[in-house]
Structure 1
Amino acid sequence: MTGRAAQLRSAARFASRLYGEQGRAAYHAYVRRVPFSRLRFAPGRDDPYPIYEQIRAEGPFIVTPLGNLATVDHALCKEILRSRRFGVEPEDSTGPDEDFDLSFLNRNPPDHTRLRRLVAPAFSPRRMADFRDGVERTVAGLLDDAAGSGELDLVPALASPLPIAVITDLLGVPDADGEAFTRYGVALGGALAGLRSLRHAQEVMTAGRDLELMFAGLFDLRRREPHDDLISALVAAEGDQVQPQEMVPLCILLLIAGFETTVNLIGNAVNALLDHPDQWAALVADPGLAGAVVQETLRFDPPVQRTARISFDDTELAGQRVESGRFVNVLLGGANRDPAVFCDADVFDITRTDGADHLAFSSGIHHCVGRPLAELEATVALRMLAERMPGLRRAGAVRRRNSTLIRGPLSLPVTRGTASVFNR
């Protein structure tokens, strides 16, 4: 009875903190109308771009309700992301939160450098060439499965199962349960911006526990039977380049990042194309433009909307004093529509020539290591979708993720249309 009472008290304290923080955020959003806080709630959560422009109009930086800073200025975002005097955790930090350890994503050098270097070869140009055929086969199979229905939800039909299949293959997860991995990805990815409810907290705990058990079993298997996969490489480096307690967080990071970036990139791309029928028609006429669609989507509506850095020193940027230990929220979605960098920044144009400098994958030492794989998957998916479903159009309203950090559709109903051509 004592143990049960302690659990209840702990749950009550957690709920009090969680909902108290949400209440304060709602006050700042709805009563004080603070733009940064309004990004967290509808309609700002559903369409943050008008709010980014309000923030831009206030100057290079705004002060958040917690006393930190935020910016949508592209030049400042890029400078902060590339500066070695800003980090993802305090310079004297003893390590990330054990309850939600995202490996090198929330570590500074030298640990960041060591762990990133360990996985980087898995995303080399040679490995991407090896993956292309497998990605094409997976997309073809998913589109074949969708051929029998006039209407489908693009997220569970294509955008979600593709990255799950690819990242579990890269890791070396045999007989992966796609539906379970999708649940894990959604739960853990949604927690990157903070827990939303007690139910969400339970989903995150369950996902973390299940993945920890699965990866621990895989480590044991690959110690006995090594294969040509990333988990085998981690096991081979255990005790030298990576410590045993670092291996599960590293695999979970790769799973979340491999899923979240690609599923939302594909979903956002198709959503933007259907919002702009002329751009969809251009892709259908020339499916070779799929790579350009990917880059323009990353600029126009990126899957990751923001990140944060903490200053190691007292410094000054654009006339703003930034004290040591102060966080700066780098609003990537706003920076990618900075009119000082991008012509007609609010226009989705797959033929634009000035979009290469987007910050969708961050910049500096934390530039996304999996970028080549995400771009490959999305490019192949969009090219084959245009080839095999040229009559694609909406069949219902988009339902978006409930997150201010990760942006993408949970549901995107479409119909193949009368012009669909399968099995060319």
Structure 2
Amino acid sequence: MTGRVAQLRSAARFASQLYGEQARGAYEAYVRRIPFARLRFAPGRDDPYPIYEQLRSQGPFVVTPMGNLATVDHALCKEILRSRRFGVQPEGQGPPHDFDLSFLDRNPPDHTRLRRLVAPAFSPRRMADFRGAVEKTVTGLLDDAAAADEIDLVPALAAPLPIAVITDLLGIPDADGDAFMRYGMALGSALSGLRSLRHARQVMAANRDLEALFEDLFARRRADPQDDLISALVAAEADDVVHPAELVPLCGLLLIAGFETTVNLIGNAVNALLDHPEQWALLVADPDLAGAAVQETLRFDPPVQRTARASWDDVELGGYAVRREQWVNVLLGGANRDPAVFHDPDVFDLTRADGAEHLAFSSGIHHCVGRPLAELEATVALRLLVERMPGLRRAGPVRRRNATLIRGPLSLPVRAS
């Protein structure tokens, strides 16, 4: 993180000395007139979907203020994500050193090697084993929530569930749920970039604490292996399949991805259902529609709004020339509302037949390895929630995250009846 902190300090000093407050304000006003850039500001952070439609009206690609490209076209997004002519880094380049996201930021063969280590933990057999534990955790959380007249659904259910599940999967004994929630939220908040020096310090502190915890656990599992993922990873280290320096980033990625995807998926699902009472009523009448509600949320309001790929060649896509090493912003949230693919894309409908085409978990070789677990957790949470609290209603305004890549509520106050 130190490299990014230094960049922030340098940029702040440079802007203040060279431009001053008035010029920086003028630059921000200019940027706000560019639809893609408005995704960074309110109300774009609160509701990016009208901006995606503005981008769609401008053609298959738009040029960003940094000279890169962006697209909300579903067919192009899918092609780019699946193409071996694009990578998560320019060809031959490694990931940035200041924030290591393990295989998420790596091209093959390193991506293939690291992903293969964790993929068995998300197999159908393991998901079947996890179902009972997920149901038990959700039941306990809802038991606690039922004692209160009003609850905030995020800290009461959406956040502690994935923390309990991912720490169990990793094999972290007696995990401090509140601490891991802080780590997950701090590190996840950095995915959209560091906003300030204070934010950078928070992220660095979480990173240090998490690194110390994992290093201690690695040492214990080397001495006393257990039936958990961390034991499998240190065994792979002994076999020289994974390098020692890769272990902490790999476990950190699993924590961040496992937390961020699920907490925001559950929050966005409940938020959308409460915005559409007729859909909530459908789910209450048939809790087996919980899986459909999860898939429709992933299409309608996905927790991950965008990703990016770098072109490895000069290529032509959608009639547009993409240069070698040019970055393309793949706007998943916009692609999931492409009217060329989805009927009435702005309608939240649990009964739709075309929802499976969503790209919420990306596509191609970087398709989210933890998708089965996130879908399982969210499905169980919604099914038990409507069974236990069929009269759920809002108790206050939603407070959303201050982020553009990750989308979800920080606070979602509700009453059980």
What range describes the TM-score normalised by the shorter chain of this pair? Answer: over 0.9
> Is 1:145 matched up with 2:105?
no
Instruction: Say if 2:117 is the partner of 1:118.
Output: yes
- Residue type matched to 1:35 in 2? P
* Aligned match of 1:255: 255
The change in CA–CA distance for 1:346 and 1:29 in structure 2 (over 3 A counts) is farther
The unaligned stretches of length 5 or more in structure 1 are: 1-7, 418-424
1:332 is matched with 332
2:374 equivalent in structure 1 = 374
**2:10 alignment partner, one of 10, 13, 17:** 13
* 1:202-243 deviation per Cα after TM superposition (whole angstroms, max 9, x unaligned): 011001100110000000000111111100000000052100
Task: Tell me which amino acid in the other structure corresponds to 2:203.
Answer: V
Cα shift at 1:10: 8.3
Distance 2:396 2:201 in 1: 31
Q: TM-score, normalised by structure 2?
A: 0.95
Decide which moves more: 30-39 or 343-352.
Answer: 30-39
SS of the counterpart of 2:290?
Answer: helix
Give a deviation string over 1:230-284, Cα, whole Å, max 9, x none. Answer: 0000000005210000000000000000000000000000000000000001100
* 2: CA distance, partners of 1:292 / 1:367: 20
Instruction: Work out the number of aligned pairs and report it.
Output: 408
Identity %: 76
- CA displacement at 1:98 relative to structure 2: 2.2
Matches of 1:204 and 1:394 in 2, distance apart?
32
Measure the CA separation in 2 of the matches of 1:415 and 1:99.
42
Residue equivalent to 1:4: none
1:231 matched residue in structure 2:
230
CA RMSD of aligned residues (A): 1.9
The 5 Å alignment of 1:20-419 reads 30-32=29-31, 33-93=33-93, 95-239=94-238, 240-417=240-417
Residue 299 and residue 114 in structure 1: after superposition, are their counterparts in 2 closer, same or farther (change >3 A)? Answer: same
C-alpha distance in structure 1 between counterparts of 2:14 and 2:166, whole Å: 35
Seen in structure 2, the aligned counterparts of structure 1 residues 364 and 11 have a Cα distance that, compared at 3 Å, is: closer
Alpha-carbon contact 2:8-2:196 (below 8 Å) kept: no
**Offset of residue 185 of structure 1:** 1.1
Instruction: Give the aligned residue type for 1:194.
Output: G
Distance 1:50 1:399 in 2: 19
In the alignment, is the contact (CA less than 8 A) between 1:30 and 1:38 conserved in 2?
Answer: no
Residue in 2 that maps onto 1:3: none
Runs (4+) off by over 6 Å: 8-11, 17-21, 23-26
CA displacement at 1:30 relative to structure 2: 3.1
8 Å CA contact 1:401, 1:407 repeated in 2: yes
The TM-score with structure 1 as length reference comes to: 0.93
Unaligned runs of 5+ in 2: none
Preserved CA contact (<8 Å) 2:9 2:197: no
Q: Which amino acid aligns with 1:322?
A: V
Q: How far apart, CA to CA, are the structure 2 residues paired with 1:41 and 1:163?
A: 29
